Amino acid sequence: MKVDAENVTQAIRKSIKELNLDDQFHTVRTKCIGRCDDAPVMMIAPENVWLQNIKTEQCKKIVSEIDAGKTKDSNHFLYQFGENTIASDSIPTKQRKN
């Protein structure tokens, strides 16, 4: 299930260009990374932060949040490697970040 992933990828790339962040960011398209319930999902390296449920019209704001180092404050924050919880409605409440 691609859930508009290609359009989101293109919107992210366009936002990076519009914000003149080409030298700071690089995108890589992947196949499924196993979070269908939260798709489309974006993973930011090297911080290993995952964002969820991204819509094309939100991409410029998301790229700005990434650039400002505010991904954990984003409404799209899903998970960061090393944490014990995932902020997803598809995860049982006792494991989910509230």
Res 35: pLDDT: 80
H helix or E strand, kind and range, residue 9: helix 5-18
Determine how many CB atoms are found less than 10 A away from the CB of residue 14.
Answer: 14
| Residues paired with 80 in a beta bridge | 49
Distance CA 49, CA 19 (A): 21
pLDDT tens digits, one per residue of 50-89: 999 999 999 999 999 999 989 888 889 998 888 877 888 7
DSSP 89: T
Q: Which residue range(s) make up the domain with 81?
A: 5-95
The predicted model scores a pTM of 0.80
* CATH number for 19: 3.40.30.10
